Every structure is written in structure tokens, then in C-alpha cells.
A and B are shown apart, each in its own frame.
Chain A
Amino acid sequence: MKIKSVYIFLLFVFTISAFGQNVKLININQLNERIKKGKDSTYVVNFWATWCAPCVKELPHFEKLSAEHKSDKLAVLLISLDFKSKLASNVIPFVKRKNLKNEVFLFNESSPQEFIDRIDPSWSGGIPATLFIKNDKRKFVESEFTYEQLLAEYKKL
């Protein structure tokens, strides 16, 4: 009986930690650090949310972009703007269901005034929105992509 509960406990712990690896919280300073100190030379940072239909529609393109450029020094970061209270109930199950391979984060910022302009002053706040960074170059696009459009932006960097 005791052993059984230990097993259940271990299973529980593993499940939680496995989930924890799927979606981490990140704030804007941590995101900037991640990009500055990361080993990749190109970053494609997509802002999305589980409730945003066009975002959900274009997520597979970002998966395809990284899958097809595995040898590039490219990191695709998917930053969810879902509410923090929806992490366990919506975001983690979504990431699991869609089997997302890119790194997924939940944006740990609660005041849009303070982060929108720091991502890009031209951002009105609509999503999907995507930030492309290659070394010192930054390009911000506030619209939905087809795969061809996304690939074209990536190749232009």
C-alpha cells in the first residue's frame, strides 16, 4: 500500500516536472537575456495565445520553419500571452495536444503598457505578432503569416 502511494507520488512529480519543461514563465528581461546570451544567431519570437484563432492557425508554420532549418543557428520562441491563471488549464494541455517542439513560454508580464513598446514601439498590441532578430538586426511584423511569407522573412534576415 505504502509502495503504491510512493509510486503514485513519483508519477505525480514526474508528470508535473515534465509539464514544467513544456511551458516556462518568462518576463521581458529574461526574454532579452535569453536572446542575448543564447547560442543561436537567429531568433524568431512569435507572440500568440490559445484564444487567438489566427495565431493557432499559423503555429504549424513556426514548427515547420525550425524543423526544416535544424542545421541553422535558429531558435523559435513561442511566447504565449494567455493569462497566467490559464497556464495549467489551457496552455499546457494545448502545447501537449499540438505536440509543439519549439520552446514555449508564457509571458510573465501583467502590464501591457510596460512591455509592448519594449518589444517594438510600432506594435499596437494585436496578435499574432512576430519579432525576428539576427545579431543586431531586428524586424517586427504585426500580422499573420503563411508558411511562404514566414520563410521569406526568415531568408531576408
Chain B
Amino acid sequence: MKKVILLLVLAFSAFIAQAQTATLKAGDTAPDFKLKNVNNKEVSFASFPKAKGFIVVFTCNTCPYAVGYEQRIIDLDKKFSSQGYPVIAINPNDPEASKADAFDKMQDLAKQKKYPFPYLFDAGQKVTDAYGAKHTPHIFIVSKTSKGNVIEYVGAIDNDPEGTKTEKIKYAEDAIAALKSNQKPAVTQTKEIGCSVKRKAKA
């Protein structure tokens, strides 16, 4: 009997864990947020009234994969912000679990690299959990529709984390290109290795 109870408890906690961290998929509503930017101003989807959509990317200061993609994220904003798809970067890491990802360090990096996009601090990791972002970088491409903000693509920026290939498959760019011609992206989900989101150790 004890075993049965234990199993039930385990199954239930597994279910809870699942519920908290399930990653949103194409077709899901993109949860809105209001988070503090490195310039201390709050940013939400409404901060971009003219946008047709958004490139929401969970990224951080420290992960080698995030560092490897940093310039490509800047380039995405430079290319697509003027076309109606600005980048909104969100740091999903807990500042205690990863001190080098603390807010002042985010400010330093944004300044040093002249980030053309907002770089937001997710206090309490609420937005991270709402999107189910798992690792950095983790990208969510969102379109503004009559039914609200909808997720169109989730996963990797391209298929070349190390940045050594001459021929890349640029998933994020392809997805936006499809949206701009009023089509659904051909690929709506990809997988990516990355640094898992840093969380406080559980007591």
C-alpha cells in the first residue's frame, strides 16, 4: 500500500513538474509580460505598437551557446526590426544561481555589445516558465494576429551553433520570411543543445 501511495505521489509530482515546464508550441497564445529592461524601463509587447510580430529569445550572458549566437541575435534585430519583427531578449537565469547573469552584468553586456534590442530581467523566472523556455538560447517567433499574439516557431536560431558552416539552415529567418508572405512557417519546431536554465537549488 505504501508503495502505491509513493508511486502516486511520484506520478503527481512528475505531472506538476511537467505542467510547470512544458514548452509552448506553434499555435499557442504567446503570454504577454512586463519586464525590466537594462535601461530600467519596463518592456512588453505593447512597447512595439507598430510590430507585426516579435522575436522573443531567451538568452544570457554566460552560456557558450548564447555567446556563440550573440552576434546572430543582434543581426536578426538589425535585419527584421525595421520589417516589423523586433528582437526581445529575456534572461531566464536566476541571478543567485548564476551570478554572472545578474541584472548589473546584463547592463554591462548590453552596453558593451551595444544591444539594439531590449534585454529583460525575468524576476522570479515567471515568463521563462510561462513559455517553458528550457535552455539558452531558446527562440520563440510570435505573430500579432486578430486573435492576439500567437507563437509561430519554437527552437533553434539555425542549425550551426558553433558557427562554422558556410551553408546554414536559418530556421528563424525562414520562419519570419514565411510570416511576411502571409504563410505559416514550414518548420515550426526544432531542437537545440544549450545551457539549461539556471535555477535556485531546491531546499
Interface residues of A (CB under 8 A from B): 51-52, 54, 81-86, 110-114, 116-117, 123-127
Q: Say yes or no for B3: interface residue by CB 8 A criterion.
A: no
Q: Are B162 and A84 in contact (CB under 8 A)?
A: yes
Q: Say yes or no for B123: interface residue by CB 8 A criterion.
A: no
Interface centre among B23, B63, B165, B192 (most CB of A within 10 A): B192
User: Which residues from chain B contact A86 at a C-beta distance below 8 Å?
Assistant: 64
- How far is it, in angstroms, between the C-alpha of A111 and the C-alpha of B68 when the chains are bound? 14
Q: Are A124 and B162 in contact (CB under 8 A)?
A: no
Q: Say yes or no for B87: interface residue by CB 8 A criterion.
A: no
Residue pairs across A and B with Cβ atoms less than 8 A apart, 15 shown, are A110-B162, A110-B164, A112-B156, A112-B159, A113-B156, A113-B169, A113-B191, A114-B159, A116-B191, A124-B23, A124-B134, A125-B193, A126-B194, A126-B196, A127-B193
Residues of chain B from 144 to 194 with CB closer than 8 A to chain A in the complex: 156, 159-162, 164-165, 169, 190-194
B63, B64, B164, B193: the one within 8 Å of A112 (CB): B193
User: Contacts A52-B195, A124-B23: A113 and B134 contacting too (C-beta < 8 A)?
Assistant: no
Interface centre among B23, B64, B160, B169 (most CB of A within 10 A): B64
CB distance from A76 to the nearest CB of B (A): 21
User: Which residues from chain B contact A85 at a C-beta distance below 8 Å?
Assistant: 162, 164
User: Which residues from chain A contact B194 at a C-beta distance below 8 Å?
Assistant: 125-126
Q: Are B160 and A110 in contact (CB under 8 A)?
A: yes
- How far is it, in angstroms, between the C-alpha of A104 and the C-alpha of B122 when the chains are bound? 37
CB distance from A82 to the nearest CB of B (A): 8
User: Which residues from chain A contact B192 at a C-beta distance below 8 Å?
Assistant: 112, 125
Interface residues of B (CB under 8 A from A): 23, 63-64, 68, 134-135, 156, 159-162, 164-165, 169, 190-196
Q: Are B165 and A110 in contact (CB under 8 A)?
A: yes
Q: Are B134 and A126 in contact (CB under 8 A)?
A: yes
User: Contacts A54-B196, A124-B23, A126-B196: A113 and B190 contacting too (C-beta < 8 A)?
Assistant: yes
User: Contacts A83-B162, A110-B164: A116 and B196 contacting too (C-beta < 8 A)?
Assistant: no
Q: Are B64 and A51 in contact (CB under 8 A)?
A: yes
Main secondary structure of the interface of B (DSSP, over half): loop
User: Which residues from chain B contact A126 at a C-beta distance below 8 Å?
Assistant: 134-135, 193-194, 196
User: Which residues from chain B contact A116 at a C-beta distance below 8 Å?
Assistant: 191, 193
- How far is it, in angstroms, between the C-alpha of A18 and the C-alpha of B169 when the chains are bound? 37
User: Which residues from chain A contact B193 at a C-beta distance below 8 Å?
Assistant: 81, 112, 116, 125-127
- How far is it, in angstroms, between the C-alpha of A85 and the C-alpha of B164 when the chains are bound? 10
Nearest B residue to A54, CB-CB: B196
Top 6 nearest A-B pairs (CB, nearest first) are A125-B191, A116-B191, A111-B159, A83-B162, A126-B196, A112-B193
User: Which residues from chain A contact B159 at a C-beta distance below 8 Å?
Assistant: 111-114
CB distance from A143 to the nearest CB of B (A): 10
CB distance from A25 to the nearest CB of B (A): 14
CB distance from B60 to the nearest CB of A (A): 12
- How far is it, in angstroms, between the C-alpha of A123 and the C-alpha of B23 when the chains are bound? 13
Q: Could you list 14 further interchain pairs (A-B, Cβ under 8 angstroms) beyond the known A54-B196, A113-B159?
A: A52-B196, A81-B193, A84-B162, A110-B160, A111-B159, A112-B193, A113-B169, A113-B191, A114-B159, A123-B191, A124-B191, A125-B192, A126-B135, A127-B193
